[in-house]
Amino acid sequence: MPVRRGSGVCQISQDGRPVDDVEEQKLPYITLAEVKRHNTPDDCWMIIHGGVYDVGRLLHKHPGGSQILLKYAGMDATLPFDDVGHSMESLKYDMPAGSLKGLLHPNDRPAGKQDRLSESEAADEKDDGADCITMAHNRSHECRMVLNKVYTVALYTTIIICVSLLLYTRLTWQYKMGAQHAMVHEIRHHVEDNFASPGTHLKARDDEFGIPAWAY
């Protein structure tokens, strides 16, 4: 007998307990071929998380509309069901009572996919979750390692460029100064040779123009 619980309906066993556990309901296995046969608006089944549901009575009550459900008639709708963000609770409480016809036959389950409906397999799911967290952790660690390398290479490149610029500036400056010194020497000798006795008033001129001693 179906009764309302929370926002939806759940099944009650013969001794009056709510039947949440699928194993308790002794559901039959249903093959994929059988599910595929129920693919019309009047006879619409679909597989969600390993459970085979008759969604006929949900069609016109479904908040997301009937069209979207019909799109997956006779098919495994687990991925779109999850993508939209439905919770597993939704399957239990929003699905009209008696909609769960059976479990998808193990031979027809996608490899590596767990049936979330039985407890032992729910435990496996937990492990899967832990695996996912470990994988995500490892990935983020790898990402950080790669980023560290990128930052290190960028830092060394910047240092090399700065040092090269400094060296270049220093060499250019030295070259320019050398050329200036040579010019000053040349002018001085020219003036001394032609206009003055060595070292007389030119020294005064040098001081006047601020030409330092090291320039000679």
Q: Which residues bind ligand HEM (CB under 6 A)?
A: 48, 53, 55, 58, 62-64, 68-69, 72, 77, 80-81, 84-86, 90-91, 94-95
What are the start-end ranges of the E strands in 6-124? 8-11, 29-30, 39-40, 43-48, 51-54, 100-104
**E strand or H helix that includes residue 181:** helix 119-194
Q: How far is the CB of 73 from ligand HEM (least distance, A)?
A: 10
Residue 76's contacts (CB-CB under 8 Å, 6 or more residues apart) are 32, 46, 47, 48, 104, 110
Q: Which residue, judged by CB position, is nearest to ligand HEM in the bound state?
A: 64
Closer CB to ligand HEM, 85 or 199, in the complex: 85
Relative to beta strand 2-5, strand 51-54 is unpaired
CB closer to ligand HEM, 54 vs 114: 54
67/158 with CB nearer ligand HEM = 67
Which residue, 49 or 188, has its beta carbon nearer to ligand HEM? 49
Q: Work out how close the CB of 142 gets to ligand HEM at its nearest, in angstroms, rounded to a whole number.
A: 34
CB of 160 to ligand HEM, least distance (A): 55
Q: Which residues of 54-89 are buried (b: 16+ CB within 10 A; e: fewer)?
A: bbbebbeeeeeeeeebbebbbebbbebbeeeeeeee
Which residue, 70 or 202, is less far from ligand HEM as judged by CB? Answer: 70
126: which 2 tokens? 């937990």
Count of residues making up the chain: 216
3-state secondary structure of 53: strand
In angstroms, give the least distance from the CB of 69 to ligand HEM.
Answer: 6
For tokens 């010019």, name the residue: 183
Closest to ligand HEM by CB, 55 vs 117, is 55
Task: Identify which of 10, 31, 30 has the alpha carbon closest to the alpha carbon of residue 21.
Answer: 10
- Nearest distance from C-beta of residue 139 to ligand HEM, angstroms: 28
